[in-house]
């Protein structure tokens, strides 16, 4: 069975030897399980949020980027109405009959996601038919880099290639993933994760039009500034964080309502501050200030990227992290204030960076527990990994790069 050609692999991964071995293993497993003598190959990356923390749900802006960890798969149509997917490391095959989506249970993991995406894609007017797929991923789970969105975008790329002649857009992909998470996984997610995984490269996202989010590619890498991105997974806390997460958009909307709007993107900071007397919750005011100033930082960061002003980009990322800690207040759960792994990791990283006099660290993603990002001088990357590994464990420290290619079919 032919695997993707080395030129394509080099274009996506920057090398062809290790990636070819991954695809060969996927091809072999696919042939063994599903008995096809032909396959097509697909990839969809994970993502990192660069700046724009907790702004998307109130119509804000974000710069995000795909990373060099991805979900890959071998797939081929099976001339039936049944989708069958085997994921490496999981004993149970995902089986979804397109003609019997009503029988798929909600909130049951991958099978629910696949059924939700199928339903959404059909609602959007596109075709879906049965296929077999073998999938594997090196996108780290529960670490804020969107392993679920990576899988969703892979499935969308498979359906688009086989059944729709490439007619689906990345917005269609993202909305299918969001629909699956909202309706079938019962998780109130936005579109940022899916778009960042689908489009590829660093992108500037604008969510002010809720039905039609906009994105544009921005051209940069941390290596352009002689720095390296390192993600540190500080571990999951014991507290149930669902209420903490939901309170952020709710409180921002509370502030917007006081100013006569539904979302903060529909009003201004001046109007919110002029109506502070209508807001009983002080934290809602602080979170609203974060939203408006964070939106400004995103715009300034995009301009600095365009001007190749790395010093300003890093300064804005640092300011963003400080705002998340002080105003947004998503570095530790108020209801379990003794669990502050994020804050400890940030404080320890700050001690390391202060000695260097350069580099930045900040919360990554939703917050309260989980992940921080450090942008460290390239020559100090190994030293930082060794340093923070003493506290977090080396298995939880991930140097990574932004990759240029999103969710795609790979030519053979």
pLDDT of residue 238: 62
pTM, rounded to two decimals: 0.91
Distances from the Cα of 114 to the Cα of 51, 79, 104, 108, 155, angstroms:
30, 18, 10, 11, 8
Q: Are strands 61-77 and 94-97 parallel, antiparallel or unpaired?
A: unpaired
Give residue 211's pLDDT.
82
Tens-digit pLDDT string for the chain (412 aa): 789 999 999 999 999 999 999 999 999 999 999 999 999 999 999 999 999 999 999 999 999 999 999 999 999 999 999 999 999 988 899 999 999 999 999 989 899 999 999 999 999 999 999 999 999 999 877 666 678 899 999 999 999 999 999 999 999 999 999 999 989 988 777 788 899 999 999 999 999 998 889 999 998 899 999 999 999 999 876 667 778 888 999 999 999 999 999 999 999 999 999 999 999 999 999 999 999 999 999 999 999 999 999 999 999 999 999 999 999 999 999 888 999 999 999 999 999 999 999 999 999 988 888 889 999 999 999 999 999 999 999 999 999 999 999 999 999 8
Contacts of 4 (CB under 8 A, 6+ apart): 20, 23, 41, 410, 411, 412
pLDDT given for residue 142 in this prediction: 62
What domains does the chain contain, in order, with CATH numbers?
Answer: 6-220+404-410 (3.30.230.10)
| SS3 sequence of the chain | CCCCCHHHHHHHHCCCHHHHHHHHHHHHHHHHHHCCCCCEEEEEEEEEEEECCCCHHHCCEEEEEEEEEEEEEEEEECCCCEEEEEECCCCCCEEEEHHHHHHCCCCCCHHHHHHHHHHHHHHCCCCCCCEEEEEEECCCCCCCCCHHHHHHHHHHHHHHHHHCCCCCCHHHHHHHHHHHHHHHCCCCCCCHHHHHHHHCCEEEEECCCCCCCEEEECCCCHHHHCEEEEEEECCCCCCCCHHHHHHHHHHHHHHHHHCCCCCHHHCCHHHHHHCHHHCCCHHHHHHHHHHHHHHHHHHHHHHHHHCCCHHHHHHHHHHHHHHHHHHHCCCCCHHHCCCCHHHHHHHHHHHHHHHHCCCEEEECCCCCCCEEEEEEEHHHHHHHHHHHHHHHCHHHEEEECECCCCCEEECC
Q: Residue 239's pLDDT is what?
A: 65
The residue written with tokens 């940022």 in the block is 192
CA atoms within 13 A on the CB side of 105: 4
Q: How far apart are CA 381 and CA 388, in angstroms?
A: 11
Query: Tell me: the pLDDT tens digits for 221-268?
Result: 999 999 999 999 998 766 677 788 889 999 999 999 999 999 999 999
Return the residue matching tokens 């001690």.
351
Neighbours of 396 (CB within 10 A): 18
Angle between helices 147-163 and 170-179 (to 10 degrees): 120
Contact 155, 137 (CB under 8 A): no
Q: Tell me how far apart the terminal alpha carbons of the chain are, to the nearest angstrom.
A: 10
pLDDT for the residue 173: 97
C-alpha–C-alpha distance, residues 278 and 87, integer Å = 51
């Amino acid at each position: 069975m032919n695997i993707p050609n080395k030129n394509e692999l080099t274009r996506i991964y920057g090398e062809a030897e290790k990636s070819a071995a991954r695809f060969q293993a996927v091809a072999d497993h696919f042939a063994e399980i599903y008995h096809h003598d032909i396959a097509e190959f697909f990839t969809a990356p994970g993502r990192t949020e660069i700046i724009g923390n907790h702004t998307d749900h109130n119509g804000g802006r974000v710069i995000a980027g795909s990373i060099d960890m991805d979900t890959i798969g071998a797939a081929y149509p099976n001339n039936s109405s049944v989708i069958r997917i085997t994921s490496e490391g999981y004993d149970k095959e995902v089986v979804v009959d397109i003609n019997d989506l009503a029988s798929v249970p909600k909130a049951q993991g991958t099978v629910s996601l696949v059924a939700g995406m199928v339903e959404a894609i059909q609602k959007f007017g596109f075709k879906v038919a049965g296929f077999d797929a073998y999938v594997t991923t090196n996108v780290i789970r529960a670490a804020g880099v969107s392993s679920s969105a990576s899988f969703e975008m892979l499935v969308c790329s498979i359906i688009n290639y086989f059944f729709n002649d490439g007619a689906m857009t990345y917005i269609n992909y993202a909305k299918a993933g969001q629909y699956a998470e909202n309706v079938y996984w019962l998780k109130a997610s936005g579109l940022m994760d899916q778009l960042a995984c689908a489009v590829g490269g660093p992108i500037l996202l604008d969510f002010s039009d809720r039905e039609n989010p906009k994105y544009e590619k921005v051209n940069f890498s941390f290596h352009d500034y002689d720095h390296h991105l390192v993600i540190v997974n500080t571990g999951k806390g014991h507290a149930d964080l669902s209420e903490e997460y939901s309170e952020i958009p709710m409180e921002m909307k509370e502030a917007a309502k006081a100013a006569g709007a539904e979302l903060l993107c529909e009003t201004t900071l001046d109007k919110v501050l002029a109506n502070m007397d209508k807001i009983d919750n002080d934290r809602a005011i602080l979170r609203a200030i974060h939203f408006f100033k964070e939106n400004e930082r995103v715009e300034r960061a995009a301009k600095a990227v365009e001007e190749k002003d790395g010093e300003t980009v890093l300064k804005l990322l640092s300011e963003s992290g400080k705002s998340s800690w002080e105003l947004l207040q998503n570095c530790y759960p108020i209801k379990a204030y003794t669990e502050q792994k994020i804050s400890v990791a940030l404080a320890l990283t700050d001690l390391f960076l202060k000695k260097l006099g350069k580099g930045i660290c900040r919360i990554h993603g939703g917050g309260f527990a989980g992940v921080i990002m450090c942008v460290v001088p390239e020559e100090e990357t190994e030293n930082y990994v060794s340093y923070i590994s003493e506290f977090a464990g080396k298995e939880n420290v991930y140097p990574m790069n932004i990759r240029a290619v999103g969710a795609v079919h790979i030519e053979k």
